Structure 1
């Protein structure tokens, strides 16, 4: 079981220059060996593998020293891009041939085994030096890799740690069904609701002003580059606010309940509705579900996904289908007289679907150990 830890780095001005030059070297290696692969296929009708190119990269020399394993990891990264390309070709998806990386599209490099060491409040990097590290929490397990990442004008260290075997699954005692929505971010089957903070919509006015100013700047000018950074900073703030909210909400859910049941939504298709796309992206359902999954996996708890078909239309009291549009926010059953909030009714149905599935009928269950859907029995 792997877990990642992300910490802020505070390099000096000189160290920032070295980090930027290291990124430029890695980007150059990526583009050069991507061109080699393309040319080998076009001219000789043969492909190059990772081992072939790793044997070549050690002969390259640059103005600044770069650790050998960092350069080798760039080749492995390129290999993963081609593996994903061939996988998409075989599965009939849009292939998306690996692209050359421009200056703003290559923002990280990795020490895959060694060359890094945490010394108190400092991070020692091979060929770079010792950089101030803000380690706001401890690291569990054994650190396997260290990735240095640039986000505009900020630098981060991301450590991947091996925690060993997954914890033993607990016997679920408390279960909850969750309906994700737009008016309320989530509605629980016990009636609780967590309102959507709508970070994007609150920052939309500021973002519009910055984007208008960007559109007036001459392309390729320094003024345009500076203004582009301001736009990116607004987006970064929205992203960080959304991450913080979903981290806290997923932690609340995992701490309180042993089994958490969501709808198995196809969010990619849902955002094709241009009337709802902005609101769906703003609440970030997929991010919340993913965070809840890995937090539950760490504690031996369960996150399960059920078929969302008719969960909003079905009466949770008697099972009668009560058709209603999205504008109707209250569920009123003409058969049993049940009247409650539409999202609360859906959340109860979601929990009931999982309960039925575990007693013999099919229930879409997310296997926490593998990340694949499995049938619950």
Structure 2
């Protein structure tokens, strides 16, 4: 399944109708969650049935399409199922007990409640919310796909406007010729990653570069009177600045991951606990700015798409062990050169990348590997125990748990 995203254009009244639909989705989702908390033993089908009760009791809920209400109930059940899975897997730390949603920014329809124009340049929502016809603008054309292939339609609100996403059910796998190359990647803060061939990709540091503008817009927000129209405008401008940095980081990770996977038959990387690493307040900002976990998810996605092998290995002692003789050479974070008694002298990250590749070659077919057979539907990847990366095979879109299918791909406008 792929997700095609288009910018949506309409009138001010239509945007207000979209906001009302989003608030209704939040109400349905929180109501279903409250029902589950008050009654034990409920399943997702009970939550779907409860949507009909909400439509009878509340007129604004009845105005929303029935499939959109069901999608909202599925959001509630996704958070519940994730909590149960974390408990069964004994994930360390908090298990993520479902919480009531305070902010919502999307409304999702299934295969009813909308109608796309014959030229595929506009879409009309036919429920009673009054959204109406929205013009679509993007670089991808929907005429390539039939209507029955579109399984989901979602309206997303962002700081720079509204977007319409189409979940299209297609086979997004491709077959590439074997290259005969293998590579190990060691991510870092000085360089984005260093591979086992001694190539170092520079770290773009998008947040650091845009931090001056963010502080400027943040000061403007703090100076405005709370509740005023000028404060809302300042908050929107700050949100657009954050959105730009987020898109830059995501596009950078996607571009690099695609290039690395296409150039190698096997890609090895560290199975890092990013959630625990950011607890270091001295390095948290730099780690979040690097986007290691996002880079890892794109590696795994393109590995499945192109039929490559991606291996997550335990990073313990990869920087301390000598890649030539295996001797432990202790060094602090400030020591950037690996020098061993055997005469091996390499950059610290280069030495770690070689160790990562060697471990991957020794664990292929075991825990921590993701092996895709081009002739089959593909095996799900796995992680090392207590890795902290439980949702490794999830969708690359964080806004909709329903689209967490294997092989999901996001194509931006």
- Confirm or deny that 1:347 pairs with 2:353: yes
Corresponding position of 1:372: 382
- Confirm or deny that 1:110 pairs with 2:108: yes
Q: Decide which of 28, 38, 52 is 2:49's aligned counterpart.
A: 52
Return the alpha-carbon distance in structure 1 between the equivalents of residues 87 and 300 of structure 2: 29
* Aligned pairs, number: 365
Structure 1 stretch displaced more, 59-68 or 17-26: 59-68
Tell me the secondary structure at the aligned position of residue 203 of structure 1.
Answer: helix
* Residues 48-197 of structure 1: pairs in structure 2 closer than 5 A: 49-59=46-56, 60-62=58-60, 65-88=63-86, 91=90, 94-102=94-102, 105-119=103-117, 120-127=120-127, 128-137=131-140, 142-164=149-171, 173-197=180-204
Q: Decide which of 212, 215, 234 is 1:227's aligned counterpart.
A: 234
Per the TM alignment, residue 63 of structure 1 is displaced from its structure 2 partner at its CA by: 9.1
Higher relative contact order (CA 8 A, sep 6+): 2
Corresponding position of 1:276: 283
Identify if the C-alpha distance between structure 1 residues 54 and 176 changes in structure 2 by more than 3 Å, giving closer, same or farther: same
Q: Which runs of no fewer than 5 residues in structure 1 stay unpaired? A: none
State whether residues 23 and 108 of structure 1, in contact with CA within 8 Å, keep that contact through their aligned partners in structure 2.
yes
Per the TM alignment, residue 134 of structure 1 is displaced from its structure 2 partner at its CA by: 2.2
Corresponding position of 2:392: none
Task: Report Cα offsets for 1:155-194 as digits up to 9, x if no partner.
Answer: 1122223235966797672211111111110111112111
Corresponding position of 2:8: 9
Tell me the secondary structure at the aligned position of residue 305 of structure 1.
Answer: strand
Structure 1 stretch displaced more, 319-328 or 208-217: 208-217
Identify if the C-alpha distance between structure 1 residues 94 and 301 changes in structure 2 by more than 3 Å, giving closer, same or farther: same
Return the alpha-carbon distance in structure 1 between the equivalents of residues 71 and 368 of structure 2: 37
TM-score for both structures, normalised by structure 1: 0.86
Per the TM alignment, residue 205 of structure 1 is displaced from its structure 2 partner at its CA by: 1.6
Tell me the secondary structure at the aligned position of residue 24 of structure 2.
Answer: helix
Task: Report Cα offsets for 1:28-75 as digits up to 9, x if no partner.
Answer: 33344444555x44xxx7758314303313424239942221122212
Per the TM alignment, residue 26 of structure 1 is displaced from its structure 2 partner at its CA by: 2.1
Return the alpha-carbon distance in structure 1 between the equivalents of residues 384 and 212 of structure 2: 44
State whether residues 123 and 132 of structure 1, in contact with CA within 8 Å, keep that contact through their aligned partners in structure 2.
yes
Return the alpha-carbon distance in structure 2 between the equivalents of residues 243 and 12 of structure 1: 30
Tell me the secondary structure at the aligned position of residue 189 of structure 2.
Answer: coil
Q: Decide which of 356, 359, 377 is 2:362's aligned counterpart.
A: 356
- Structure with higher Rg: it is 1
Tell me the secondary structure at the aligned position of residue 327 of structure 2.
Answer: coil
Q: Which runs of no fewer than 5 residues in structure 2 stay unpaired? A: 373-378, 386-413
Task: Report Cα offsets for 1:97-118 as digits up to 9, x if no partner.
Answer: 544444xx11111112233344
Return the alpha-carbon distance in structure 1 between the equivalents of residues 110 and 156 of structure 2: 14
Tell me the secondary structure at the aligned position of residue 272 of structure 2.
Answer: coil
TM-score for both structures, normalised by structure 2: 0.79
- Confirm or deny that 1:296 pairs with 2:330: no
- Confirm or deny that 1:21 pairs with 2:15: no
* Residues 262-341 of structure 1: pairs in structure 2 closer than 5 A: 262-335=269-342, 337-341=343-347
State whether residues 187 and 194 of structure 1, in contact with CA within 8 Å, keep that contact through their aligned partners in structure 2.
yes
Return the alpha-carbon distance in structure 1 between the equivalents of residues 368 and 177 of structure 2: 19
Identify if the C-alpha distance between structure 1 residues 329 and 212 changes in structure 2 by more than 3 Å, giving closer, same or farther: same
Return the alpha-carbon distance in structure 1 between the equivalents of residues 341 and 384 of structure 2: 37
State whether residues 278 and 287 of structure 2, in contact with CA within 8 Å, keep that contact through their aligned partners in structure 1.
yes
